[in-house]
Amino acid sequence: MTRTAAIIGGGVIGGGWAARFLLNGWNVRVFDPDPQAERKIGEVLENARRALPMLYDVAMPEEGALIFCPSIAEAVTGATWVQESVTERLDLKHRVFAEIQSADPAALIGSSTSGFKPSQLQEGAIDPARIMVTHPFNPVYLLPLIELVPSAVTDAGAVETCKDILRSVGLYPLHIRKEIDAHIADRLMEAVWREGLWLVNDDIATTEEIDNAIRYAFGLRWGQMGLFETFRIAGGEAGMRHFIAQFGPALAWPWTKLMDVPEMTDALIDKIASQSDAQSGHLSIRELERKRDGNLIAMMRALKQQGHAAGRLILEHQSALRPAPEMACPMVSARRVIPLDWTDNNGHMNEGRYGQLFSDASETVMAAVGADDAYIAGGKSFFTVENTIRFLEETHAGEKIEVHSRVTQAEGKKLRCLHEMRRVADGAVLATSDQFMLHVDLATRRSCVPPEDVATRMAALAAAHAAPETEG
């Protein structure tokens, strides 16, 4: 059953939430009084459609329906989840919660607030127990963290339901045990920002030099290991205790100006803004967003390959999205979007990636004959010994493709498949692969006949695929 999310406030963050839910197959209702909201969300959604599916090696669900509503009541009534993302003002958020709860007393409400505690949000609410903080990160459609902060009066069952909902759309709920102003991540970011402002104010560095100091060194480390694991390694073989002994005393020296903020005079604001213009003013915000998204996708896909950090979360979500193998003829053995990092300097998909794609498709065929992950872990598998690939049309990043596979030979240890890679938009055949595999014993690394159950399934699939329907 398609579920519905209500997004109240469709700016930078509301638009990101809308995209995250829609691209995971939810219907989305939006209320925002800004006459520009529909255009702005449309632009965020366009970026998200290009970006999010590239993280996965399987197809995402069919996109849900997006509806703009003329009132909060119409947006929230009967919705499974309500995400409030209005301007960061407590009085406004209180008014919005009152309207939501008057319209639908059962509404489960998460607030995107960057700074307010849940107990502040709940003040004067009709039903405080159904309100919590669910603080996201920009862009919400790519970054998985949600700081989930309940107060002492938030209903525990509602918190668990919220976690299930967030995980189902590929997000990672970090349940914060004790409410605190600005949660965890914004406190950390604010500390760094404060230092950055001082460094500009005191003419130590420009905005660009500060960004270089982050992106060429510790920013890269933080993205994969965070703060504490990174410092543990920096302590050498003696680990964290040695690190603290060596660098802990420096915390008492005047390295930082943590409690102080430079006065935001017009001169300082002009200085920061003009340095920022010199650094990035040649690009529009939408161009910068696309650059950011491309970089995030490349980094997250690299982490996915390592099974680490944000990449591990994508693998977990992907396994929930992967459909069971279909026995139809032809079998749809792969369905995905071509990611940016699969393209080469000709601006199209690199030929090596076709081999990867057809290899993924053959794993679906293997699973269908019983050679799934558990079978391989048990010591038997198939190895490809020959593969003829024909490149028929160019394939570009962002295109949705399917691989249609037929078993053309299943005799003893021999398994042969004909794969066709098709563009979903028009059904064009972009490439084919005639792939010949042998069943092997992983202990001896030699070919051997498969057990009877696998042989029977191979034969059944070959028979079913012997007289293929004509495809357009």
Question: Could you tell me the smallest distance in angstroms from the CB atom of residue 325 to ligand L46V6VHR?
Answer: 39
**157-to-101, 164, 170, 436 alpha-carbon distances in Å:** 18, 11, 20, 53
Nearer to ligand NAI, 36 or 305 (CB): 36
Q: 403: annotated binding-site residue?
A: no
Q: Choose among 102, 67, 98, 63: nearest CA to 84.
A: 98
Q: What are phi and psi of 86, to 5 degrees?
A: -85, 170
Question: Which lies closer to ligand L46V6VHR via its Cβ, residue 186 or residue 195?
Answer: 186
Where along the sequence are the contacts to ligand NAI (CB under 6 A)? 8-14, 31-34, 37, 85-88, 92, 96, 112-114, 135-136, 138
CB of 29 to ligand NAI, least distance (A): 12
Q: Which of 170, 239, 225 is nearest to 22 (CA)?
A: 170
* Residue 102: CB minimum distance to ligand NAI, A: 14
Residue 433 interacts with, from ligand NAI, ligand L46V6VHR, none (CB under 5-8 Å by kind)? none
The answer to whether residues 273 and 200 touch, using CB atoms and an 8 Å cutoff, is no
Q: Which one, 92 or 153, has the nearer CB to ligand NAI?
A: 92
Min dist CB 132 to ligand L46V6VHR, Å, is 16
> To the nearest whole angstrom, how small is the minimum distance from the Cβ of residue 108 to ligand NAI?
18
Residue 8 near which of ligand NAI, ligand L46V6VHR, none (CB within 5-8 Å, type-dependent)? ligand NAI
* Residue 112 touches which member of ligand L46V6VHR, ligand NAI, none, C-beta under 5-8 Å by kind: ligand NAI
Q: Give 135 or 301: the residue with its C-beta nearer to ligand NAI.
A: 135
DSSP states along 311-328 = HHHHHHHHHHHPPPPP--
* Cβ within 8 Å of residue 26, ≥6 positions away: 2, 3, 4, 5, 64, 80, 169
The residue (of 22 and 142) whose beta carbon lies closer to ligand L46V6VHR is 142
- Is 401 annotated among the ligand-binding residues? no
Least distance CB 261 / ligand L46V6VHR (angstroms): 15
Q: From ligand L46V6VHR, ligand NAI, none, which one binds at residue 170 (CB under 5 to 8 Å depending on kind)?
A: none
Choose the one of ligand L46V6VHR, ligand NAI, none that binds residue 158, judging by a C-beta under 5 to 8 angstroms depending on kind.
Answer: none
Residue 56 binds which one of ligand NAI, ligand L46V6VHR, none, with CB within 5 to 8 A depending on kind? none
Of the candidates 332, 271, 52, 79, the residue with the CA atom closest to the CA atom of residue 169: 52
Tokens encoding 266? 């017009």
Q: Residue 239 annotated as binding?
A: no
User: Residue 152's binding partner, choosing from ligand NAI, ligand L46V6VHR, none, with beta-carbon cut-off 5 to 8 A by kind?
Assistant: none
Tell me the residue nearest to ligand L46V6VHR as measured from the CB: 114
Output the furthest CA–CA distance in the chain (Å, rounded). Answer: 80
CA 307, CA 314: separation in Å to the nearest integer?
A: 9
Q: Is 449 annotated as a binding residue?
A: no
Q: Which residues bind ligand L46V6VHR (CB under 6 A)?
A: 114, 137-138, 186
DSSP 8-state symbol, 181: T
**152, 95, 94: which is closest to 122 by C-alpha?**
94
Look-up of token digits 């021999």? 414
For residues 127 and 186, which CB has a smaller minimum distance to ligand L46V6VHR in the complex? 186
Integer Cα distance of 406 and 465 in angstroms: 6
CB of 458 to ligand L46V6VHR, least distance (A): 51
138/305 with CB nearer ligand L46V6VHR: 138
Residue 33: name its binding partner from ligand NAI, ligand L46V6VHR, none (Cβ under 5 to 8 Å by kind).
Answer: ligand NAI
CB of 13 to ligand NAI, least distance (A): 3
Tell me whether residue 131 is annotated as binding.
no
Distance in Å, CB of 398 to ligand L46V6VHR, minimum:
24
Alpha-carbon dihedral angle through residues 68, 70, 74, 76, given to the nearest 10 degrees? 60
Q: Count other C-beta atoms under 10 Å from residue 65's C-beta.
A: 11
* Sheet of 109-111, strand order: 66-68, 27-31, 4-8, 81-84, 109-111, 131-135, 145-149, 172-175
Out of ligand L46V6VHR, ligand NAI, none, which partner does residue 202 contact, by CB within 5 to 8 A per kind? Answer: none
Q: In angstroms, rounded to a whole number, what is the distance separating the alpha carbons of residues 236 and 37?
A: 52
- Minimal CB distance to ligand NAI: which residue? 11
Q: C-alpha angle 390/392/396, rounded to 5°?
A: 115
Which of ligand NAI, ligand L46V6VHR, none does 213 bind, CB closer than 5 to 8 A by kind?
Answer: none
Give the angle subtended at the CA of 289 by the CAs of 174 and 57, to the nearest 5°.
Answer: 65
Confirm if 33 and 62 have CB atoms less than 8 A apart: no
**Which is nearer to ligand L46V6VHR, 79 or 133 (by Cβ)?**
133
Phi, psi dihedrals of residue 431, rounded to the nearest 5°: -165, 160
8 Å CB contact between 40 and 30: no
Least distance to ligand L46V6VHR, CB of residue 137, Å = 4
User: Which is nearer to ligand NAI, 170 or 330 (by Cβ)?
Assistant: 170
| Residue of 92, 79, 27, 123 lying closest to 112 (CA atoms) | 92
Annotated binding site for NAD(+): 9-14
Going by the annotation, the residues of the binding site are: 9-14
